[in-house]
Structure 1
Amino acid sequence: MSHLVTLNIEAGVATVTFNRPDKLNALSYESFVQLARIIKQLKKEKSLRLVIIDANGSDFCTGLDVKNISRSPTKMLKLLFKWLPGNANLAQRVTIGWQEIKAPVICKIHGRCFGGGMQIALGADFRLASRNAQFAIMESRWGLTPDMAGSVMLQGLMPYDQALKLTHMAEPISADTAQAVNLVTQVCDDLDHECEQLKAALLVQSPDALAANKRTYQKRMLAYRRQLLAAETFNQIRILRGKNVKRAISNRLKGETKPFDNSANW
């Protein structure tokens, strides 16, 4: 299996890099597996001081590789499967897992950050965006609902109406707009320089204090974690069993506007 996501650790700083530039870093099933393994490894690194999530190529991540996942129904089942409703499944672990790492996590975003890529970025503690970055939660375009633990983070970051609008509309927004609604921490003219500045500032602080700060602020951010994780998966499975997801996909691919079935009782 090729390294779709790479890990480098040097002097306590881990750099996790999306490494599928030829596919605009779209997430295949194998990408999820590799990313989950890396997060699991980082949680065990006692000398870890900082994590940086980066990407090779023109875009940070353009979302799910639909062709890769759709080729095998078992891949979708493996992404969604969980032993208990409140547990995180594979799709959710690659987002919420960053919050289980004691060290600060910085996400460097350039180009497009769509769908699953956006949700992964939400799991970081800080999101630094280049001025050319674009953001979107794309699932609604295909008749789906976000199911990668993004809702856990959004409810702590954004006002209700802004989070709902972003999810409903499934349209890209600019880096400046993303900062205005608190989706990103900082918009950068020089992304590498600003990341180095933040990195240097964090590394001179006590790792014990940083870990304690992170845990304290998580009390509110993750207060309803298990309920939201369960709701995401339940709703996605219910959608996948219905008629409207097929209609949404057909409408999107064929440019049609055929009406949806309004008989579903939500």
Structure 2
Amino acid sequence: MATEHQTLELTRPEPGIALLTLDRPHRLNALSPDLLLELHAVLDEVAVDPTVRVLVLTGRGRGFCAGLDLTEYDLGHQDADGLSPQQRMWLQQHIASLVPKLRALPVPVIAAVNGPAAGGGLALALAADVRVAASTARFNVAFVRIGLSGCDIGVSWLLPRLVGASRAFEMLLTGRLVDADEADRMGLVTRVVPDAELLDSVLLTARAICANSPMGVRMTKEVMWSQLEVGSLQAGIDLENRTQTLTSFTRDHDEAAAAFRERRAPAFEDR
């Protein structure tokens, strides 16, 4: 069943799995004002929907997301009827807040990257927990190619943590295109699959996540991202200790242990 929107589509291909498709294929799913508003709204809905266990994010047609749609925004100077400083700051914050919003979702996000993921599209892919690329996927830091800083909307924080500083800095400074195979070699994506197999491949990963307990998955996502920011090994272990102790008191943990002993699949209830 699909939820009706103007610029995106939310479907449920399987129980527990939500598929969010950016739907502006004529613009390679570039971020328009309407798409930004709808994307924020849908992510807010998913965040409080207990029936969603995994969110898959992809694009309609031959592109994942080409970044900000410059044809929809006038980014010229104020004296040329462009955006005022206040409007420009609101727009910047509105776009950038998608990145922490994706990270803060209680469910894992899998980016099924079909075609170009540039600028803001790259940021959306980096903010996902898992990235799977179609063979036609392309990645680049588009900001530096249009007279702006390459460090924008979280990319300069996320990219070095995913691929290392040396590779990230070169991408940030040049804005060059990175194809799917290179993205795989540098660890930017989990794997590369033929375009026609992308969704099926992503659904395999989504099913594997759904097979685990909801609380265990939520705590894993929360802690694994927090570990990128903690200041020491001991602080990280302390965080793990508290989380592990908390999850050990859940009924789903007892159910998992019983299912293991009885050699059956567990029936989790998120309790």
Q: TM-score range by the shorter chain?
A: 0.7 to 0.9
Q: CA offsets per residue over residues 52-106 of structure 1, 9 Å max, x none?
A: 00111111111211121216516533212xxxxxxxx211122221111111111
Query: Which of structures 1 and 2 has the bigger CA Rg?
Result: 2
Q: Among the aligned pairs, what percent are the same residue? A: 26
CA distance in 2, matches of 1:123, 1:202: 18
C-alpha deviation, 1:192, in angstroms: 2.1
Q: SS state of the match for residue 16, structure 1?
A: strand
Aligned to 2:11: 8
Aligned pair 1:73/2:83, yes or no? yes
Give the counterpart letter for 2:202 in structure 1.
Answer: C
Quick one: which of 215, 219, 222 aligns to 1:212? 219
C-alpha deviation, 1:20, in angstroms: 0.3
CA distance in 1, matches of 2:157, 2:214: 25
Q: SS state of the match for residue 68, structure 1?
A: coil
Q: CA offsets per residue over residues 223-255 of structure 1, 9 Å max, x none?
A: 59xxxxxxxxxxxxxxxxxxxxxxxxxxxxxxx
Could you tell me the TM-score, scaled by structure 1's length? 0.75
Gaps of 5+ in 1: 81-88, 225-266
Aligned to 1:264: none
C-alpha deviation, 1:2, in angstroms: 6.1
Q: CA offsets per residue over residues 115-167 of structure 1, 9 Å max, x none?
A: 11111111100010011211111110112124212233223212111111111
Could you tell me the TM-score, scaled by structure 2's length? 0.74
CA RMSD of aligned residues (A): 2.0
Tell whether the 8 Å contact from 2:7 to 2:38 is kept in structure 1 after alignment: yes
C-alpha deviation, 1:23, in angstroms: 1.3
Matches within 5 A, 1:146-185: 146-185=151-190
Which of the pair has the greater relative contact order for Cα pairs under 8 Å at 6+ separation? 1
Give the counterpart letter for 1:47 in structure 2.
Answer: T
Gaps of 5+ in 2: 76-81, 232-271
Tell whether the 8 Å contact from 1:91 to 1:147 is kept in structure 2 after alignment: no
Aligned pair 1:102/2:110, yes or no? no
Q: Matched residue pairs, number?
A: 216
CA distance in 2, matches of 1:214, 1:203: 13
Matches within 5 A, 1:10-89: 11-70=15-74, 73=83, 76-80=88-92, 89=93
- CA, structure 1 residues 34+203, in 2 after alignment: closer, same or farther (shift >3 Å)? same
